[in-house]
Amino acid sequence: MKVVVLDALTFGETDLSGFDVFGEVDVYQTTSANQTLERITDADVIVTNKVVIDEEHMSGCKNLKLISIAATGMNNVDLEAAKKHGIEVKNVAGYSTDSVIQHTFSMLFYLIGHSKYYDDVVKSGDYSRSAIFTDVSQPFFEVKGKKWGIIGLGTIGRGVATIARAFGAEVCYYSTSGKNATTDFTQLELEDLLKTCEIISIHAPLNEQTQNLLDYNQLQMLQDNAVVLNLGRGGIINEEAVAKIIDERELSFGLDVLTKEPMLENHPLLAVKNKERLYVSPHIAWTSIEARDSLIALTIQNIQTLQK
């Protein structure tokens, strides 16, 4: 069996030697659109994280039996074409749940605790020259007693909700699909959630219901000093609206995902004046060491099903 790994760079230093049991393995760190077909022509299995595999690619691969997506999202593969050609497509779910939950709180505490400011105060020497033992110029609030709204109460959203409650937050949620219902937390309509919550975190997929869910008009509903975190998908929040409102009102945003990744060089978020209210991480919430190890292990398991 020939296995072709198309974008190994997305896995970092993760050990990929487990693929060797299948036979011939070609590992490419990155693969551009014009390199894809040439690299997969003789493959029995393709492993891709974000490299697009479409009808043209499948038509040119006579041995292809499986497209193994090393991710949860499957929008980079033409699923209808795969069905037409009798090619299996498998993804991996649940491997990064704990990692994303942890990064949600990392982003929150970075923003509300003014971590960058206080780190700079000490390292610049300003604290050494202080007349008093402390610095209370950037006040922070406690999570306890605050209302935390979850948009998308799936596995990750529920995990965040459970920990938020442990901190003493009052947790509510909005179901983007309209299908999720639970008695564990209070369900609200989106407008009510936006108007009443001090902390809002997004853990929903990108689809017709969530595309541009939070635009400028929705963000205007937020109360002063609210914090909004997007760890779902880029496109759920209108990033131009964020760039505008962050310089107009006392609001803070943490974004791990963007509509276009990597970030555009002229992105409006790079021009905001109130940079201390914005924390953008480069789509890393899923990337703990444990999560990446699990991702590769589960991808290997998906390939093993061909041998049964």
58 or 307, higher pLDDT: 58
Catalytic option among 203, 277, 283, 292: 283
- Residues 215-235: what's their mean pLDDT? 97
Percent helix / strand / coil, the chain, rounded to 5: 35, 15, 50
Q: Which burial class, exposed, middle or buried, applies to 272 when counting CB atoms under 10 A from its CB (0-12, 13-18, 19+)?
A: middle
pLDDT digits (tens, 9 = 90+) for 170-188: 999 999 988 777 889 999 9
**Residue 276: per-residue pLDDT:** 97
Q: Domains in the chain and their CATH numbers?
A: 2-93+289-307 (3.40.50.720), 97-280 (3.40.50.720)
Is there a catalytic annotation at residue 39?
Answer: no
- Given a cut of 80, whether residue 61 has pLDDT beyond it is yes
Active site (annotated) includes residue 114: no
What's the rounded mean pLDDT across residues 50-56?
97
- What is the number of other CB atoms lying within 10 angstroms of the CB of residue 226? 23
Owner of token pair 């292990």: 297
Question: What is the arithmetic mean of pLDDT over 62-78?
Answer: 95
Question: Count of CB atoms within 10 A of residue 110's CB?
Answer: 15
- DSSP secondary structure letter of residue 248: T
| Mean pLDDT across 68-91 | 96
pLDDT band for position 307 (50/70/90)? confident
Q: Give the bridge partners for 115, in sequence order.
A: none
Catalytic-role residue among 39, 103, 114, 233: 233
Q: Which helix (H) or strand (E) holds 253?
A: strand 252-255
Give catalytic status of residue 233 as yes or no: yes
List the catalytic residue out of 142, 189, 261, 290. 261
pLDDT at 308: 66
